[in-house]
Structure 1
Amino acid sequence: MRDGRMRSLLADLARFVLVGGLGLVLDVVVFNLLRQSSLTDGHVGGAVLIAKALAASLAIMANWAGNRWWTFRAHRRSNAVSEAVMFFVVSLVGSGISLLCLAVSHYVLDLTSVLADNVSANVIGLALGSAFRFLVARTWIFRDRGARLTSDAAAALPIGGGR
């Protein structure tokens, strides 16, 4: 990989991590507020999963805004609604990874403490989900369409043309 592309990748990754870090704080705070208030296991069936889904949804919206206007600002799509829907769908899959980790830990392994819920959902699950989201965001949602057009145009040139 060329130095310029590597620097671009690392810069995108650093911004993505910072935006995601803010989303993580939002996610964890909302999750724990909900888990400690009305959405406790004793009051609502599946409460821990509902709390996590609500917290993740708020974090997804915040992350899309941060990634659209900062991380991938040079590659954002002209249709913000379409981009937001794509980002939300991809993020739901990433959040599904987190929910799966939480469900296995909480309901299968019977690790039901607040600490266990946070480790499974907000450490393991978010790390795996974030890696998935970055890969898909950079290669599909916010991909560098200009670079692709340039390589497509170069491929269309006759052999030796323009060199």
Structure 2
Amino acid sequence: MTAAPSQRPSLRERLSLLAREIAKFGAVGGVGLLVNLAVFNLVRHTTELQVVRASILATVVAIACNYVGFRYFAYRDRDKSRRTKELTLFLLFSAVGLVIENGVLYTATYGFGWDGPLQSNVFKFIGIGVATLFRFWSYRTWVFRRLRPEPVAVPERVPETERVPEAEPGTVT
């Protein structure tokens, strides 16, 4: 008697999937980090915007870049049936991440007076790191939801008394 194949992946398979997801998330996030820091430094050094305002602008540009990367690369295999809800949740959780990221920079800049170019970049980077942990959890849990696997039909086992005998090779039935 054979058991029905398990529909739940093994721990090894789940860890492998998680590792791939983290790698894809990291690739998109890495591009977003570069965009964020490049826009931040460009705005900071070419305009008179205050540090945190420049950072918020840079974060918004990176969020737009990241959505495209997450939807069409990292989470392309996820549910696409509710794009409006997905985008709304993405923007909501991204806004929370923006507050976390820029809250760290704000505290360093206005709470401790650390507002030199190097200090601003260090605390922006730290803020991005903290916000990234929140974003990873929220995006994978609420925004880019995994499709539910369709149940696998397991054929019923026919009792031996009801089986039709197989024809022997060369016989006509």
Among 118, 124, 133, the residue aligned to 1:115: 118
Do 2:89 and 2:142's aligned partners in 1 also have CA atoms closer than 8 Å?
no
- Secondary structure, aligned partner of 2:115: coil
Over the aligned positions, Cα root-mean-square deviation in angstroms equals 2.0
Distance 1:79 1:58 in 2: 24
When structure 1 is superposed on structure 2, of 18-27 and 138-147 the one drifting more is: 138-147
Distance 2:48 2:14 in 1: 46
Q: Any idea what the Cα deviations from partners look like across 1:27-47, whole Å, max 9, x if unmatched?
A: 00101111111134xxxxxx2
Question: What residue in structure 2 maps to residue 56 of structure 1?
Answer: 59
Q: Say yes or no: does 1:75 pair with 2:84.
A: no
Q: Any idea what the Cα deviations from partners look like across 1:99-133, whole Å, max 9, x if unmatched?
A: 110011000100110111111112x1001100100
Among 25, 30, 50, the residue aligned to 2:39: 30
* Unaligned stretches of 5+ residues in structure 2: 1-9, 157-173
Distance 2:86 2:145 in 1: 11
Question: What residue in structure 1 maps to residue 3 of structure 2?
Answer: none
Question: What residue in structure 2 maps to residue 20 of structure 1?
Answer: 29
Distance 1:101 1:34 in 2: 19
Higher helix share: 1
Q: Say yes or no: does 1:140 pair with 2:111.
A: no
* Unaligned stretches of 5+ residues in structure 1: 41-46, 151-161
Distance 1:76 1:54 in 2: 30
Moved over 6 A (4+): none
- Secondary structure, aligned partner of 2:148: helix
Letter in 2 for 1:60: I
In terms of Rg, which structure is larger?
2
Distance 1:55 1:85 in 2: 20
Q: Say yes or no: does 1:94 pair with 2:93.
A: no
TM-score by length of 1: 0.82
Identity of aligned residues (%): 32
Do 1:61 and 1:88's aligned partners in 2 also have CA atoms closer than 8 Å?
no
Letter in 2 for 1:142: F
TM-score by length of 2: 0.77
Letter in 2 for 1:10: A
Compute the displacement of 1:145 (Å). 3.2
Letter in 1 for 2:89: M
Among 83, 104, 108, the residue aligned to 1:105: 108
Q: Any idea what the Cα deviations from partners look like across 1:36-72, whole Å, max 9, x if unmatched?
A: 11134xxxxxx21111111100100110110111111
Distance 1:65 1:39 in 2: 30
Do 2:36 and 2:58's aligned partners in 1 also have CA atoms closer than 8 Å?
yes
Distance 2:86 2:48 in 1: 32
Among 119, 125, 128, the residue aligned to 1:126: 128
